[in-house]
Amino acid sequence: MAPRTEQAGRLVLVRHGQTEWSRTGRHTGRTDVELTEEGERDAAALAGPLAAFDVGLVLTSPLARARRTAELAGLTGAEVDEDLLEWDYGGYEGRTTAEIRETLGHPWTVFADGVVPGDSPGETVEEVAARASRVLVRVAPVLAGRDVVLVGHGHCLRVLTATYLRQEPRFGAHLVLDAGSLCVLGREREQPALLAWNARTTPEA
């Protein structure tokens, strides 16, 4: 179990299990793809580590890959929060970084360069951070006494972490987050802190 700090509750982030698109590096924003068999196994394996937390609230993205991960991980009573949707990649939806770079002719990243409109307008990193801020405001009262679990997507959760740590949203570029992993955020001497990151288990107290 992750150690408690001055903040009574801990914020536990769970990225959904593997999908075929995440396995092949395709940007998966609002496309509703299912977990692979490996993704389902990874999600189920999180049930043990998550049982160590005193969970007062579970929020999940409305997309199937996140809701299925919450179910397999034993997170009952999960509430859907639209603000946990993945970054809207606009015209880059379904494309890999290599494909986008080949088209643009320079070393593009979503954090540094953003997206272009496509079937949807896409989002800026600041718009993703605004959604993350709303989630953090929503969970703050519960964190006063219990733990909160958020089940969502790689880029959105990385931006949320940057926001929690009081960093610029683009700081999320430095936080690698694998499919089927969990992270724990809390406090250390009144400061927001990473207690565990990109883990399959939680550190012992």
Indicate the average pLDDT of the chain. 94
Domain ranges, residue 140: 11-199
Q: Give CA–CA dist 26/21, Å, rounded.
A: 5
| Burial class, 151, CB count within 10 angstroms (exposed 0-12 / middle 13-18 / buried 19+) | buried
H-state helical runs in the chain: 20-23, 37-45, 47-50, 64-72, 97-104, 110-113, 125-143, 154-164
118 within domain boundaries = yes
Which residues does the annotation mark as catalytic? 16, 86
pLDDT score, position 127: 98
pLDDT score, position 8: 85
Q: What's the pLDDT band for 18 if we cut at 50, 70, 90? A: very high
Provide, rounded to the nearest whole percent, the portion of the chain with pLDDT above 90.
92
129 within domain boundaries = yes
109 within domain boundaries = yes
67 within domain boundaries = yes
Instruction: Give the CATH number of the domain where residue 123 resides.
Output: 3.40.50.1240
Domain count, the chain: 1
157 within domain boundaries = yes
pLDDT score, position 23: 96
5 within domain boundaries = no
pLDDT score, position 2: 43
Q: Give CA–CA dist 147/155, Å, rounded.
A: 22
3 within domain boundaries = no
What backbone phi and psi angles, to 5 degrees, belong to 149? Answer: -110, 130
pLDDT score, position 4: 42
